[in-house]
Amino acid sequence: MDSHAVNLSYASGAYDQPLIGLPISQFFDNVVARYGEREAVVSCHQGIRWTYAQLAERVNQLARAFIAAGFVKGDRVGIWSPNNVEWLCTQYATAKVGIVLVTINPAYRTHELAYVLKQAGCKGLVIQNSFKSSDYIAMLTELCPELATAKAGALSSAEFPLLTTVVSNTASEVAGIHNWAEFRAAGDKVSAQTLAACVDEQDMDDPINIQYTSGTTGFPKGATLSHHNILNNGHFVAAIMQFSERDRLVIPVPLYHCFGMVMGNLGCLSHGACAIYPSEGFEPEAVLAAIEAEKATALFGVPTMFIAELGLPMFNNFDLSSLRTGIMAGAPCPVETMKQVNDLMHMTEVEIAYGMTETSPVSFQSRVDSPLDKRVSTVGRVHPHVEVKIIDQDTGRTCTVGTMGELCTRGYSVMLGYWENPDATAAAIDSDGWMHTGDTAIMDVEGYVNIVGRIKDMIVRGGENVYPREIEEFLMTHPAIDAVQVTGVPDIKFGEEIVAWINIKEDAQLSEAEIKSYCDGQIAHFKVPRYIRFSTEFPMTVTGKVQKFKMREISMQELGLQDTKTA
């Protein structure tokens, strides 16, 4: 399936299926025509199940509503909501009109929301009233007090001059916010012919989605993705999982992220499969209940989600025998977790995937027949129609197999660029079209790749380059350690020192001295953590990625350290 040079760390993904050359809008209609009577989506917490024909009816109505509200191709509409069918309808309705959907992290607060609305130039915003402890309406009206007196659809905001239309995905008492049903009903004013004309205007290379990456410093950057980017990536993720219209996928990961909206929603669409939302946000018991009730064949999640599901006291009460496959991504998978997912959850064909928002997102994936050791020690092999190489950071030359360097990706999946940020785009994508991932990696002779860590996460201690992942993997061999994350903190003598955040297993005991003793003679002295912090949780993004920059900030504050670069 894949071919790669014998001596160089380069691989290109061959496949027996061509790329899809259609925009999402036209592809959606083709799928509905073929699979109209099959279930497209089940939202367990909303008590909703729709066939593809029923979904299409609602998508088309909403698309016509956007046209009635004055939206045209190229306008930007934000969506700030957890997982629900309204999210899915908005994803496909905006694609029909050619509106660029700006997906907003449900964990964002007012400052972050304000930045995204301005930077993307949002004309519209679809919003859920609240979620958990977040009162979205209150945060928005704080930023935009004019909503209290504005006519719905005619907002004039001093702070956000482009924003005219805010739609609640249920109902709102705020004068300037449309109720969902009332907004949709306006679609009756627009003919099916008008919508069809909009669909015909779409081109596969048009931008259709802006996703803001959670940067470690400064403001997030808006990765701008095309129809071609995300439709094909969703399709091939599911194709490698051997998806068909008979598959039923439980999606507990957030839809605002590529994992949910591309690998989940579009992966299902591209094969006529069914997307299942167990709850608004991740709830392990709801996931298992959804698998049993819906006889799901596949499950997505980050390793921490699978660990939480396996750890439920009532885990054995659920019938998970319908499961076959799934994707575990976002972080390395512990060996024991993979074994339990295989054996206890019946996911014998579970796969690992790796990528980044800027590459739509997946560029590596293990296969159903990948051996266990490859599924826990690597991120699989190159994706179909994608090129990858590992380069020496100093010379830019392609490394030999087995040599560590920076991973680069090229192909259909590379983003159009960062929204209105040409400097950042030029820094990420070189003149030959290679996306520089910022990840350090090693490729083996079979083309499997191991991600060593982020280049920016690398610790330089006394002139020695230290990769946190190496220390983390060693410490995880201690029988009393449940989880560990390593980062660097400033040090006057060595430039940086190592701090390990360690979560000890329940009923186990472990001291700082015992941990350091465990390291002695097993790893190089300069890799032994200077500081140990016992912690039951790590700062994470909503998609389960550990935020090492926050670990560094917290550790510096607790240890009373100053940044040697600025002190």
> What confidence score (pLDDT) does residue 6 get?
57
Output the tens digit of pLDDT for each of the chain's 567 residues. Answer: 455 545 899 999 998 999 999 999 999 999 999 999 999 999 999 999 999 999 999 999 999 999 999 999 999 999 999 999 999 999 999 999 999 999 998 888 898 899 999 999 999 999 999 999 899 999 999 999 999 999 999 999 999 999 999 999 999 999 999 999 999 999 999 999 999 999 999 999 999 999 998 654 457 899 999 999 999 999 999 999 999 999 999 999 999 999 999 999 999 999 999 999 999 999 999 999 999 999 999 999 988 899 899 999 999 999 999 999 999 998 778 788 899 999 999 999 999 999 999 999 999 999 988 998 898 889 999 999 999 999 998 999 999 999 999 999 999 999 999 999 999 999 999 999 999 999 999 999 999 999 887 788 888 887 777 888 889 988 998 999 999 999 999 988 888 899 999 999 988 999 999 999 999 888 888 899 999 999 999 998 766 678 888 999 999 999 999 875 433
192 phi, psi to nearest 5 deg:
-60, -30
* Domains by residue range for the chain, with CATH: 50-213 (3.40.50.12780), 458-559 (3.30.300.30)
- For 477, other C-beta atoms within 10 Å of its C-beta total 9
> What confidence score (pLDDT) does residue 218 get?
57
User: Rounded to whole angstroms, how far apart are CA atoms 23 and 229?
Assistant: 10
Angle, CA 61 vertex, CA 59 and CA 62 arms, to 5°: 65
Q: What does DSSP assign to residue 176?
A: T
Do residues 470 and 527 lie in contact, with contact meaning Cβ atoms separated by under 8 Å? yes
Q: How far apart are the first and last CA of the chain?
A: 53
User: Rounded to whole angstroms, how far apart are CA atoms 228 and 24?
Assistant: 8
Residues 6+ apart with CB under 8 A from 204: 20, 21, 22, 23, 226, 227, 228, 231
- Supply the Cα-derived Rg of the chain in whole angstroms: 24
Residue 127: burial class (beta carbons within 10 Å; 0-12, 13-18, 19+) = buried
CA distances from 181 to 62, 65, 168 (A): 10, 10, 9
Beta strands in 151-286 (DSSP E): 165-168, 177-178, 207-213, 221-226, 248-250, 274-277
Q: Which two tokens stand for residue 188?
A: 């009756």
Helix (H) / strand (E) element for 180: namely helix 180-185
Pairing relationship of beta strands 274-277 and 248-250 according to DSSP bridges: parallel
180 phi, psi to nearest 5 deg:
-60, -50
User: Rounded to whole angstroms, how far apart are CA atoms 477 and 459?
Assistant: 21
> What confidence score (pLDDT) does residue 457 get?
86
> What confidence score (pLDDT) does residue 391 get?
98
> What confidence score (pLDDT) does residue 543 get?
60
Q: What does DSSP assign to residue 400?
A: B
> What confidence score (pLDDT) does residue 92 get?
98
> What confidence score (pLDDT) does residue 217 get?
45
User: Rounded to whole angstroms, how far apart are CA atoms 96 and 388?
Assistant: 32
Q: Which two tokens stand for residue 110?
A: 């007012």
- Locate tokens 């064909």: which residue? 349
Do residues 241 and 248 lie in contact, with contact meaning Cβ atoms separated by under 8 Å? no
- For 14, other C-beta atoms within 10 Å of its C-beta total 11
3-state secondary structure of 513: helix
Q: Which residues of 344-356 are buried (b: 16+ CB within 10 A; e: fewer)?
A: ebbbebbbbbbbb
> What confidence score (pLDDT) does residue 566 get?
38
- For 61, other C-beta atoms within 10 Å of its C-beta total 18
